[in-house]
Structure 1
Amino acid sequence: MGRLAIRRVAYNGQKYYFESPYLNDGIIVLEGENGQGKSTFMNLIYYGLGGKVSGFNKRDKEAENKHNEIYYDVDNYVELEVTINDKNYELTRSIGDSSIYIVDSEKKVIETCVYRNKSNGDTTVFSDWILEVLGVDVFDIVQGTKKFKLNMTDLMRLIYHDQATEVDKIYKIPDNENFLSDSLEIRKAIFEVLLGEIYNDYYSVLGKYKIKLKEYEKKEAVMDSYNEFLAEILNEELGNVAHIKTIINENEEMLTKVTIERDIARSEESNASEILKEIDFERRKLNQLQGNMEELIHARSSVEQSTEKILYLIDGSEKELYEIEKIRFVNKKLKLFTPNTCPYCLREVIRDKDKCICGCEIDEEQYEKFFYTDQEYLEILKVKKKAIQSLSGLLNKKNKRLQMILNELEEYNHKINGVRSFIQDLAKDITSDYNSAYVKKIDDRICEINSNIIEYRKAEELAQKRENIAVEVTKLRNQIDGLKIKVDSYLSSAREDMLVKKKIFSEIYLDLMENADKNCYAAYVGDDYMPHINMNSYRERSASVPKRLMFFLTMLIMSLKNNVNYPRFLMIDTPNKEGIDKINLIKNLEQLSKAYELRSDPSTLFQIILTTGTGTYPESFKKYVFLTLEDDNLLLKIKTK
């Protein structure tokens, strides 16, 4: 990542204005009493960088904690002069507007939009612009059905140490707080992108993989739905396109031959002896069809009888199941039936083992089999239900078989009627000079072939669509397989890199915590990238101040020692919270000077903007103070007419 530094902060409206002096590199301090405008200064910077400040939102009439001087001002805007990678830019954002206008070093004006969902194709998203200038790839984060891009304001959660966030939460509260934006996965992604050299590539490829995987799953679902659709409209399995084209060609060749045969038949005179032979052939054909139809009628009768028997068995089993359920219920509620109950008076009887109530010798197991526990009743019910399910499955098979027989009977009936009609037409041609019956049959055959060709062309279209979907599914599967390999490769390298980074981070963090908190003896960052102090033992609330502050400082120091994405820029807004005393707070703030000491190269530049109470900082920081707000010297000044 490149380097970011704020050089000048300005606010202008019809009623109020403010303009800061030039802001240097290193540690710079704005001191002032409560209510003088320290947090306002930080909010102006954050707002100018595309962040959301609820007190500035003029469109929210019900907004709490309105910043009255800004909320009710007119024609007001924030202007920042920033340095990114040694290039100067001017950023201007009107209060209540989602546009940020950028003037680069060549005086070129770029219009950007803060909110991605309000940006059209012609307007650049501000976050995309600044991340690109800083050298961070803009990639998609996919969680479940949600897809969004990691924005600059997400990364600012570990760059802007604000005052509103509870100190034990570490990360700044997201601008749009919900279970997704503040999920563990998102927080880990922010940490990994800021400090991991390879994680940026990993998340970029991971986002592409998840998007492509969703495309694949969606297309695969389309394929499954299409196959179900084909199964419903077709009586048999649909062949592939090549096979269907072969059948179409065969039918077209057959159509040509039959058409020629019809032309020949039209030109020939009828022959009585040939017609009689044809009639005899058709009668034999008729007999064969009728014989087949009788076999089908017999099969239909057999299946119908079987179906009736199955229905009878299902009905009996369901009644038996109902009776058993009633018996179980009564026995469970009233405890009527036990091996030691008199069947006449229903009183409890003291019975000797292997003796009946009447005193006769019995087999205990044989005796008890007429009495069941609740668990045994459940097992009996389970067996009965399974039997009913088996019978229902068999019934479905019989119904399908019956439907097939009925369809075949209808087809045979149609063929028989056709043969009978043809025999009648042939009989008429015996006394005629024209083969009308034969020509009519050929015409019917031509119609049938044409109809088949039309059906096969429809089938070809359906098969082509199926194959197109299959090609897309295969293509997407190959793409996700390739991306998965890349994801695994990047993840393996990124984990190795992050393992080293976590070790270095924990060492720096421990050193800072031991200097900032006299009671700290153990500090490290866990797998969730959250700080763990003194093996997670109970600490007083004020101990959370150094815990959070040193975490942010460690992030900055990591960027001064390694080539990572953290922008060597840190904002710290009045860390005087949770009842921490002034002495300990100053001791905490002293650790900020470690940024000078621990950087790998003395020429490496950084910027820490600190706002704090008047005099609430180490004596050595006096030279870093660029502005003091006290008495009537407020941050926002009233314009004089």
Structure 2
Amino acid sequence: MQSIKINKLVVYKKSRIVYSQDYHSGLNIIRGKNGSGKSTIANFMYYALGGDFINWLPEAQSCDYVIIEVNINGKILTLKRYIETNTMQPMDIYYGKYENAISQKLDGWNRYNFGRKDAKESFSQIIFKYLNFTEVSTESGDFITFNQILRLLYIDQITPIINIIKSVDFDSPLIRRTIGYYLYGSHDDSLVIDEKNLRLKKKEINDLKSQQKIFVDIYDSKQLNSTDIDKEINKLTTQLEKLNSSIEKSQTSRNTAFSEANKKFNDKKDKLVTLKNEYIQITKDINTYKIEISDSIDFINELKSQSKSLNTSIITRNILGLMPVSYCPSCLGKLKENTEHNTCSLCGNIQEDDAVNKATKVKEEIDIQISESERLLKLRQDRLIKLIDLENKTKTNLYETQKDIDLSVKAFTISYDLKLSELLTTKGEVKVKLSQLFEKRQKAIKFEYINEKINTLNTDISSLLKSIQNKRISQSNNSIKVENKIRDYTIKILKEDSKDEVYESSFVDPENVNIDFDKNSFSIDGRSNFSASSMVVLKNAIRFSIFFASLELPFMRYPRFILCDNIEDKGMEPSRSHKFQRTIESIAKKFNKEDYQIIFTTSMMDESLDIDKYTVGPSYNGSNKSLDIQPINKNTEPLSTNDQRPNLDSDNDMDELFSDLPF
């Protein structure tokens, strides 16, 4: 039987222990007035065991980390987690007792992530190994973590009273159902695997049958026999070998004739190559001359434009130079008479006599360039005409040479041995038939493989259906046994609740108890709505009944541990809470206390149970709270997690891991 027990819980704040208590096998009761910190201790336990919790009260948030020593199936482990406001925090695990753990800074401690990361295991996987749990997965393939297992071990105050299992964000009926039936011992992971394999094999066989139908629709299935096809292939292969022998003999005589014809062919081929090279070079020269001629024409046109512009300038200078100007074109005032020779009558600047002569000289030089460029252009144009003529002749020569070669090849082919031609034709026909047979053989092999695979799958499916049926029967039998035990214990607890004084008439003689993990609900005799106090009693009764059932049924995976935060609600009468506490104690003491652990908190302690045998720590109140720390100023922001927590993303930071421990 799987079991978890808490041996010790220690909470640290700035190297100082603010809570430290030992816990024992059997019944453990944490007592104290409302607001004295009982729930804080319960939440620390849940978190230290691997629960995902962030709704810390200011006093709890001010603490640094929590260490818990646990006994899992007889093996001692010490677990440490830092108090954070972010979800999915890692866990440090020491494989030994708390006293040894705190004496070690690094040796023996290992850090595990909340979830799987790369190839490293999560702390859930480590705890599962110690519990001898197989990895739990839902029908959709999602793995269950130990955080989710704790949801059925911890009865907290935050979860709505109508929910049978602790509420979390992003919850799903499939996960809740898997948690419930796995802890019942009726969830068989191999059944989930079998059902998944059955779906896959049914899909595979349907796909294969579709392919089989295509073959049957296109081919005669009798013809798709690989053995018969192999016989036909062997016959044609023998025929092909004989044809190859005959062809080889015929080719010998052909090769002799070909060698003579090949010599003549090579001479013509060389001539053809030479002509092609000449043709290519002529074509290149033509393109070059076309570009040069185009450039020359552009150059001549530019020179002519410059000559024309110079000529216009000379004429204009001669005309304007003779015109007398008597009045200023700007102010219209009469200009002074200029008596100086070779000066402008308007501005008075000295005029050079040879300006016209220089312009005329430049024009003459340009005209000479034009004349020379036109001569060179004419030469290029003449050369281009000759190249074009040569191109046409070379092209004709190429055509004639190629035609001569083609005629020679054709003449040789016509004279080719007709017998060889017939042999080659027959060989081609045989090869086509062989190719078709090989293709047909591949289809036949595939068709036979599909038929064989379908037969194998049918056998596998039959085997899986039988296995699934047997496992479902076993699963159903286990579920019935568990549900009957839960019903019996729930009825027993509810009847005890109604003794002496009836708080809820439906609890006097109930018959049926129903737990619906999919809907996260519960009911008795079809009813699920009662007063708040009665709902607390009913929910706690069912959750403790699951626990008690695990003590009787060894196949259950429920780890014989239950943590209940507040047996009662604030509106419950003390006498009713006392009665429930005594009922739990009365049932529990019938079992060997070394086999289980019950931890619950109460603000209405029954005097008969307020003994050292059961109680843990003092009775807490407003002046003596569970955490021995100074009151938190409500106006003060919680300490930054960046300031309080070491960063352990790298091995170099591991020295910080236990720097605040008192050693």
For this structure pair, what is the TM-score category when the shorter chain's length is used for normalisation?
Answer: 0.5 to 0.7
Residue 594 of structure 1 aligns with an amino acid whose one-letter code is: S
Q: Quickly say closer, same or farther: Cα 1:532–1:152, change in 2 above 3 A.
A: same
Deviates more, 1:445-454 or 1:552-561: 445-454
Partner secondary structure for residue 89 of structure 1: strand
Contact 1:33 1:629 (C-alpha < 8 Å) held by counterparts: yes
Q: Deviations over 1:580-610 (max 9, x none)?
A: 33332232222221233432xx465321111
Deviation at 1:21, TM superposition (A): 1.4
Partner secondary structure for residue 165 of structure 1: coil
Q: Deviations over 1:162-220 (max 9, x none)?
A: 112222222222464134334xxx1xx44443344xx25xx122111123124324534
Partner secondary structure for residue 599 of structure 2: strand
* Equivalent-residue separation in structure 2 for 1:132 and 1:251 (angstroms): 66
Aligned to 1:605: 595
Residue 620 of structure 1 aligns with an amino acid whose one-letter code is: L
* Equivalent-residue separation in structure 2 for 1:156 and 1:578 (angstroms): 25
Aligned to 1:586: 578
* Equivalent-residue separation in structure 1 for 2:597 and 2:91 (angstroms): 23
* Equivalent-residue separation in structure 2 for 1:77 and 1:130 (angstroms): 20
Residue 595 of structure 2 aligns with an amino acid whose one-letter code is: L
* Equivalent-residue separation in structure 2 for 1:11 and 1:128 (angstroms): 25
**Percent identity of equivalent pairs:** 20
User: Are residue 166 (structure 1) and residue 160 (structure 2) matched?
Assistant: yes
Q: Deviations over 1:360-419 (max 9, x none)?
A: xxxxxxxxxxxxxxxxxxxxxxxxxxxxxxxxxxxxxxxxxxxxxxxxxxxxxxxxxxxx
Deviation at 1:265, TM superposition (A): 5.5
Residue 244 of structure 2 aligns with an amino acid whose one-letter code is: T
User: Are residue 560 (structure 1) and residue 557 (structure 2) matched?
Assistant: no
Partner secondary structure for residue 629 of structure 1: coil
Residue 544 of structure 1 aligns with an amino acid whose one-letter code is: M
User: Are residue 148 (structure 1) and residue 133 (structure 2) matched?
Assistant: no
Contact 1:523 1:532 (C-alpha < 8 Å) held by counterparts: no
- CA RMSD in angstroms comes to 4.1
Q: 2:130 aligns with which of 129, 133, 147?
A: 133
Q: 2:175 aligns with which of 178, 181, 187?
A: 181
Contact 1:219 1:469 (C-alpha < 8 Å) held by counterparts: no
Aligned to 2:67: 79
User: Are residue 542 (structure 1) and residue 527 (structure 2) matched?
Assistant: no
User: Are residue 621 (structure 1) and residue 592 (structure 2) matched?
Assistant: no
Map 1:230-245 onto structure 2 (within 5 A): 239=224, 242=227, 245=230
Contact 2:547 2:562 (C-alpha < 8 Å) held by counterparts: yes
User: Are residue 44 (structure 1) and residue 51 (structure 2) matched?
Assistant: no
Deviation at 1:550, TM superposition (A): 0.8
Q: 1:260 aligns with which of 239, 245, 248?
A: 245
Partner secondary structure for residue 576 of structure 1: coil
Contact 2:195 2:468 (C-alpha < 8 Å) held by counterparts: no
Aligned to 1:336: none
User: Are residue 574 (structure 1) and residue 566 (structure 2) matched?
Assistant: yes
Deviation at 1:22, TM superposition (A): 1.0
User: Are residue 210 (structure 1) and residue 195 (structure 2) matched?
Assistant: yes
Contact 1:111 1:124 (C-alpha < 8 Å) held by counterparts: no
Contact 1:8 1:21 (C-alpha < 8 Å) held by counterparts: yes
Residue 253 of structure 1 aligns with an amino acid whose one-letter code is: T
Q: Quickly say closer, same or farther: Cα 1:620–1:176, change in 2 above 3 A.
A: same
Partner secondary structure for residue 27 of structure 1: strand
User: Are residue 493 (structure 1) and residue 478 (structure 2) matched?
Assistant: no
Residue 551 of structure 2 aligns with an amino acid whose one-letter code is: L
* Equivalent-residue separation in structure 2 for 1:17 and 1:150 (angstroms): 34
* Equivalent-residue separation in structure 2 for 1:566 and 1:467 (angstroms): 51
Residue 135 of structure 1 aligns with an amino acid whose one-letter code is: N
Provide the TM-score with structure 1 as the length reference.
Answer: 0.60
Aligned to 1:516: 497
Contact 2:529 2:535 (C-alpha < 8 Å) held by counterparts: no
Aligned to 2:376: none
Deviation at 1:448, TM superposition (A): 4.2
Q: Deviations over 1:500-537 (max 9, x none)?
A: 44333322221111112433121433485875435538
Residue 495 of structure 1 aligns with an amino acid whose one-letter code is: S
* Equivalent-residue separation in structure 2 for 1:478 and 1:11 (angstroms): 59
Aligned to 1:595: 587
Deviation at 1:461, TM superposition (A): 5.5
Contact 1:506 1:524 (C-alpha < 8 Å) held by counterparts: yes
Deviation at 1:51, TM superposition (A): 1.8
Map 1:111-510 onto structure 2 (within 5 A): 111=110, 113=112, 115-116=114-115, 118-121=116-119, 123-142=120-139, 146-174=140-168, 176-182=170-176, 186=177, 189-196=178-185, 199-200=186-187, 203-220=188-205, 223=208, 239=224, 242=227, 245-263=230-248, 435-436=417-418, 438-454=419-435, 457=438, 475=456, 477-510=458-491
Aligned to 1:30: 30
Residue 620 of structure 2 aligns with an amino acid whose one-letter code is: L
Provide the TM-score with structure 2 as the length reference.
Answer: 0.58
Residue 138 of structure 1 aligns with an amino acid whose one-letter code is: E
Aligned to 1:306: none
Q: Deviations over 1:412-437 (max 9, x none)?
A: xxxxxxxxxxxxxxxx99x987542x
Residue 607 of structure 1 aligns with an amino acid whose one-letter code is: Q
* Equivalent-residue separation in structure 2 for 1:243 and 1:154 (angstroms): 62
Q: Deviations over 1:467-510 (max 9, x none)?
A: 66766665555444323322222322343344344333322221
Runs of 5+ unmatched residues, structure 1? 56-65, 270-427
Partner secondary structure for residue 50 of structure 1: coil
Partner secondary structure for residue 168 of structure 1: coil
Deviation at 1:262, TM superposition (A): 3.0
Residue 588 of structure 2 aligns with an amino acid whose one-letter code is: Y
Q: Quickly say closer, same or farther: Cα 1:222–1:21, change in 2 above 3 A.
A: same
Contact 2:80 2:91 (C-alpha < 8 Å) held by counterparts: yes
Deviation at 1:81, TM superposition (A): 0.3
Partner secondary structure for residue 138 of structure 2: strand
Q: Quickly say closer, same or farther: Cα 1:522–1:174, change in 2 above 3 A.
A: same
Q: Quickly say closer, same or farther: Cα 1:538–1:574, change in 2 above 3 A.
A: closer
Contact 2:128 2:146 (C-alpha < 8 Å) held by counterparts: yes
Aligned to 1:101: 92
